[in-house]
Structure 1
Amino acid sequence: MQSPTSRYPFLDQIRGFAVFLMIIFHACYDLTLFGFMNADFQNNLFWWSFPRVIVFLFLISVGLGLALSHTPKIKWNSFWKRFLKISSLAALISISTFFLFPDRWIYFGTLHCIALTSLMALPFRNWPWVSLVVAALLIIPSAFFSWDLPWISLPHKSMDYIPAFPWLGVVLIGLFAWHKNVHKWPAIWPKKLALLTTMGRYSLWIYLLHQPIIYLLVFGLNQLLSKH
């Protein structure tokens, strides 16, 4: 969800594909919430995996964009400006969901994770193999136990809980991928998938706005049908 000064279409496509999947997932989530679907997001492997694929794509792009924006040296002014922006939006999401959905409010979601892991990953930007090793040390153990971090785990379920560990590992994989010039790969079907590229360029704002819009549409549909 970054805006590097130089655009790389393949990187925008990764973000755009993540946004596209996210819209589909949240539409299904809201349809299930109002009884139009019966998706089991906790126990069904497909629905359990779906949001994790989305987060994986976002955090890979965060790692790629982080290296792209801060090479050959860290641009601290732009970093802190972006960090403050992402953190403020994350806080806004926490506050709004606390009042709207107190039983499942977002206390450490995707934006919270992006802000913190960006800060934690930055020192690794010139150490690709170290990044890959640390990523493996974070990700592989998570198959056997839960990190249950960042030091916050409230007893209620959250609509979006993305802990810094092990997800920092995915950002570090993105840093490694940058050193392998993955961001320079040619765009896939650039004309046919131009919409994905455009969505990737505005991924942050689509991320913020799509769910309220989908929720209101499904809520309106539910209200309309309940009157008949």
Structure 2
Amino acid sequence: MALYHLTWDLGFLRLTPENLALTPVGRAAAHGIAGSFLVLVGISLVLARPGRSGRWRPYLLRLARIAAAAGAISLATVFLFPNSWIFFGILHCIAVASVLALPALVAPLPLVGLAAALVLAGPHLAALAGSPALLDAPGLLFLGLGATVPTTNDYVPLFPWFGFVLAGVGLGRVALPRLAASAIGTIAPRGRAGRLATAAGRHSLAVYLIHQPVLLGLLYGVAALAGPHPRAGEAQFRREYRANCAEAGGGEAACRVAARCVVERLRAEGLWRAGGGFSAEEQGRAIALSRTCFREAGGG
């Protein structure tokens, strides 16, 4: 998780040529991390088993902490990233799922497995049904059943992600009694590394909340001293240029050559820079360069 956030931060601050966290591999890694987190949420619910021997108080305190942290993240991102603030991220999903999963702690295991499969398949089933426009309403985006993918820095809707929590509950109910009765159940953490890992696991919410501000703070300092990577943004620009070029009727080869040409000439003309602020005259020059590159690439 921390490594993924470090990768995202480096790209966001333009310290790497491309934001690798936003590439297909990076997104797959993010989904894998989120899925594993949510499976562990389900397993932890089995371990804590609210209501057993009057253990509702620890559950409610934990739920309150997670909900408060989720609210704090939403509030902070409204100010930090107003165009992509987090309205239903991983903590929001964990808070809601921790309540919705309670019946799964006592339900028949086949029913839990079926529910997990249906929730995981929910977005695909909704798409097959035509995803009614109502599901794209802003107030229902937390479900994840609509066709709209909102612009937000963290989006973990109930469908399909609640399915991972249900899967974790099922896995925990099946595996934990067997593990507890095996030799694995007697293993205790040893050494400083083991104790540190145990402490991090017990205080995972604090680790989650603290590590990203610390990383961003450190990297902002690096960015201020070193400046952006000289080739930051190039790969994304070329992808977007090729997509726009193809939509305009350009051939794949011509669009690829033209995209490379545009980057080189924008740099040569001093028009390649982050942050915008281009004058009308500079915009006109950039458009002219783009057309020239497209023509020279054989695009027309």
* TM range, smaller chain: 0.7 to 0.9
Q: Say whether the 8 Å CA contact 1:67–1:125 is kept in structure 2.
A: yes
| Residue of structure 2 in register with 1:50 after alignment | 29
| Residue of structure 2 in register with 1:172 after alignment | 166
Q: When the two structures are aligned, how many residues end up with a matched partner? A: 205
Q: Say whether the 8 Å CA contact 2:119–2:159 is kept in structure 1.
A: yes
Q: Which one has more relative contact order, counting CA pairs under 8 Å at least 6 apart?
A: 1
Matched, 1:135 2:113: no
| Residue of structure 2 in register with 1:160 after alignment | 154
Q: Say whether the 8 Å CA contact 1:103–1:156 is kept in structure 2.
A: no
Structure 1: distance between partners of 2:188 and 2:28: 26
| Residue of structure 2 in register with 1:207 after alignment | 208
Instruction: Write the letter of the residue equivalent to 1:152.
Output: L
| Residue of structure 2 in register with 1:17 after alignment | none
Structure 2: distance between partners of 1:76 and 1:196: 27
Instruction: Write the letter of the residue equivalent to 1:122.
Output: L
Structure 1: distance between partners of 2:61 and 2:162: 21
CA separation of 1:125 and 1:156: change in aligned 2, threshold 3 A: closer
| Residue of structure 2 in register with 1:88 after alignment | 68
Return the offset for 1:41: 4.0
Moved more, 61-70 or 178-187: 178-187
- Larger helix percent: 2
Deviations 1:100-124 (A, max 9, x none): 1111111111111000001000011
User: Following superposition of structure 1 onto structure 2, how do residues 173-192 of structure 1 map, counting pairs within 5 Å?
Assistant: 173-182=167-176, 184=179, 186=184
Moved more, 156-165 or 175-184: 175-184
Matched, 1:151 2:140: yes
Moved more, 149-158 or 92-101: 149-158
Structure 1: distance between partners of 2:188 and 2:61: 34
Greater C-alpha Rg: 2
| Residue of structure 1 in register with 2:88 after alignment | 108
Output the TM-score relative to the length of structure 1: 0.78
CA separation of 1:156 and 1:132: change in aligned 2, threshold 3 A: closer
**Any unmatched runs of 5+ in structure 1?**
1-21
Q: Determine which of 102, 118, 121 is the counterpart of 1:122.
A: 102
Q: Say whether the 8 Å CA contact 1:138–1:166 is kept in structure 2.
A: yes
Q: Say whether the 8 Å CA contact 2:46–2:105 is kept in structure 1.
A: yes
Return the offset for 1:36: 1.6
**Any unmatched runs of 5+ in structure 2?**
143-147, 229-300
Deviations 1:116-163 (A, max 9, x none): 001000011022221111001111344576687871368752111111
Output the TM-score relative to the length of structure 2: 0.61
Deviations 1:14-68 (A, max 9, x none): xxxxxxxx100010001001112213544x3311111111111111111111111
Deviations 1:49-94 (A, max 9, x none): 1111111111111111111112673733333222222111110110
